[in-house]
Structure 1
C-alpha cells in the first residue's frame, strides 16, 4: 500500500448522507490503521441501557468511588467487548498507544484501576468497535462516507458524546450544514 493515508490518531466523522444508518453522526476515534486493516472506537453515541457502574458490576468489580458515567456505543463489532480510551498517564499490559489520545486498553486491569481511584486521569469506555479489513477503510474514504478530522483530545475528553460530531467539524473550520448528502461523478 504505497498511497495509503493511515488514519491512526484521527477522528473519523460521518458525512451527512452516510451510506450506513448505523453510523449517522458517528465520531470514531481511530486507534489502528495500517495495511492489515483498521480499528476505531465510536465516541459519538452512548448506550442508553448501561452506565459505567452497571458494567463494573457485570464484570464483578466494585465501583468504589468511581464516577458513574455513560458507556459509549463503540461500534457494531463485538458489542459485548469493552474498551477504555484513556490519557497516556496509565498503561497496563496490552495497552496500545494511540497518539494524540493516549492509549487504548481492553483488559479488566484498567477497569479495576479506575474503580480504585488509581486509573488514568481522563478516560471513556465503550462496548464494541468499528473495524475494517485490509483496504476497506481506504475504499470508504474515496467514496462519500467519512471525513478524517485531526485527533483533538479535548473534543474526546471534554465534550459530551452528543456534542462531539459538531465540535469536531467546528474545530476543522467546517459548518456541516453546508455539506451535501450525496456526491456525483463526471
Structure 2
C-alpha cells in the first residue's frame, strides 16, 4: 500500500453526520486494509439474538456458561457468515488469522465448538457479517470526512460496555463526539 496508510488493526469511528443505516454511530475494527480494499467488523452493535440461541440453531448445544452473551452485527456483507474476534494469545483454530499482535479473527466452526464446550477464548466477540470496501473506497470516505481512525484498543473492544465503545475510542483521540458538528465540509 504505497500511496496510503495501512489501517489494519485500527478503529474507524463514524463521524456524527454519518446517516447510513448500517454505519451511523458505529465503531469498526479493521481486520484488513490493502490496495484491493478493506474489511472490518462493527464492534458496537448487537443483533437481537443471544449466543445461546445461535448455538442452538447451529446444533452446538447450549451450556450454562454462555448466559446471555451478545452476538454482534459486524456489517451488511454476508450477514449469515460468522466471525469471532478474540485476543491473539487465546489460541488458534483451523481458520485463525492474526490481525495484529493483540487480536485474531477466526472463522472456522471449531472455535464455536470450543466455546460451546467452555474451552474457547474467554474474551471474544461473536459476529455476524462484516463491512467491506473496494479499492480506494475507504480512503475516499476518510477524505470525505466520514470516518476518523486510531489504533485499536483491546480494552475498548473486549472490556468496555457496548454502548460506551464509540465514545471511548474517540477519547483515545482526545475528541468528544458530542461536541462535533453534524455539518460536513472541508476547511
Q: TM-score range by the shorter chain?
A: over 0.9
- 1:21 is displaced (CA, Å) by 3.0
TM-score using structure 1 length: 0.93
Query: Could you tell me which residue of structure 2 aligns to residue 4 of structure 1?
Result: 4
Query: Could you tell me which residue of structure 2 aligns to residue 42 of structure 1?
Result: 42
Pairwise CA RMSD of aligned residues? 1.5
Q: Provide the secondary structure at the position in 1 that maps to 2:181.
A: coil
TM-score using structure 2 length: 0.93
Unaligned runs of 5+ in 2: none
- 1:144 is displaced (CA, Å) by 1.8
Query: Could you tell me which residue of structure 1 aligns to residue 70 of structure 2?
Result: 70
- 1:114 is displaced (CA, Å) by 1.1
Hey, what's the Cα distance between the residues in 1 that align with 2:18 and 2:160?
23
Query: Could you tell me which residue of structure 2 aligns to residue 99 of structure 1?
Result: 100
- 1:139 is displaced (CA, Å) by 1.1
Q: Provide the secondary structure at the position in 2 that maps to 1:181.
A: coil
Q: Which deviations, in whole Å up to 9, do the C-alpha atoms of 1:16-66 show, x marking residues without a partner?
A: 101423211101111011111111011111012x00011111111012243
Hey, what's the Cα distance between the residues in 1 that align with 2:146 and 2:102?
23
Equivalent residues of 1:66, 1:116 under 8 A apart:
no
- 1:125 is displaced (CA, Å) by 0.7
Equivalence map 1:1-186=2 (5 Å) = 1-48=1-48, 50-68=49-67, 69-88=69-88, 89-185=90-186
Q: How many aligned positions are there?
A: 185
Q: Provide the secondary structure at the position in 1 that maps to 2:98.
A: strand
Q: Provide the secondary structure at the position in 2 that maps to 1:140.
A: helix
- 1:185 is displaced (CA, Å) by 4.2
